[in-house]
Amino acid sequence: MSSGKDVSSVKRNQAHHTEQSAQLAMPVALTIAGSDSGGGAGIQADIKSFSALGVYGASVLTATTAQNTRAVTDIHDLPQAHIQAQMAAVFDDLDVRAIKTGMLGRAAVVATVADGLRRFLDVHADVPLIVDPVMVAKSGDMLLASDAVSAMMAQLLPLATLVTPNLPEALTLLAASDPERAQQLEIPLGSATTVPQLAAQLEVIARALASEIGVPVLLKGGHLNDYSSNLPADAELPVIDVLVECQEATLFSSKRIATSNTHGTGCTLSAAIAARLALGDELKQAVAAARDYLHGAIAAADQLHIGSGHGPVHHFYAMLRQQR
């Protein structure tokens, strides 16, 4: 028969083992998004990004798409009850350190995901949530129903640690509550004659959205080239992103890479931010590290030769470089 001292010793050893296991465990990041059968975007891009950055990836599928580098030819929305079951299974067992959402598709799915996240975050308030408000695929195909935009604004975005729209998505979100204001914010982009003017207006839009939803915003400026017609012919337009956090704006700028292989860049960036947050970065540090990772993945994208349309970025470029 074991003595009380022996039992206490066993319990101490078990507690010590549990603490060591927690310290050694790989951080878990969760993506809640759609599947891209072509492998370049969606949960496939998210899990590749998590893995490349040293984070264990878990997933909740909201939809499956028939998709390649050229087009999205079919979308199958998964039942809400199945989405709820996936979320419950992950949250019940895995120590999730960061979450990102991607393609949600329909207003009902936005509501389902928001409800599950709200209940989880009520208990785990320290877990960061990155919301990538995916609306349109690289091919131009719509991935979000129009009625889902208002649901996203009201139910999901207020839960976020960071929202990562591109420029068209940001204007669409703003137009959900005030179409005229969104149009007025876009007008100066079309009349800009210098890169600093474009960057300044990007910040104005980022601040407007952050104020509207009450959470930090990373406004991605990859689409600024759509407004570059009035720039001097010799002007070099970098990729400019603006982070607005607690009324402070931080501008990130990097050289624009000449390639058509940019499928899944938005998914990759938001997943990389989630991964860095799961590893313990502060928000601004996570954004900077994620942008550097994406820049390298885009720079190496032409090495892949995948598909005949907009090919994917090279998520594992750093690993392959180390092996050479």
Q: Which residues are catalytic?
A: 220, 262, 264-267
3 state DSSP class of 239: strand
CA angle, residues 27, 32, 83, in degrees to nearest 5:
120
| Tokens representing residue 77 in the block | 């929305």
Residues 17 and 77: their CA atoms lie apart, in Å, by: 43
DSSP per residue, 24-72:
HSPPEEEEEEEEETTSSSHHHHHHHHHHHTT-EEEEEEEEEEEE-SS-E
Dihedral of the alpha carbons of 201, 206, 207, 211, in degrees to the nearest 10: 140
Residues 110 and 5: their CA atoms lie apart, in Å, by: 53
- Among the listed residues 140, 167, 170, 143, the one whose alpha carbon sits nearest the alpha carbon of residue 310: 140
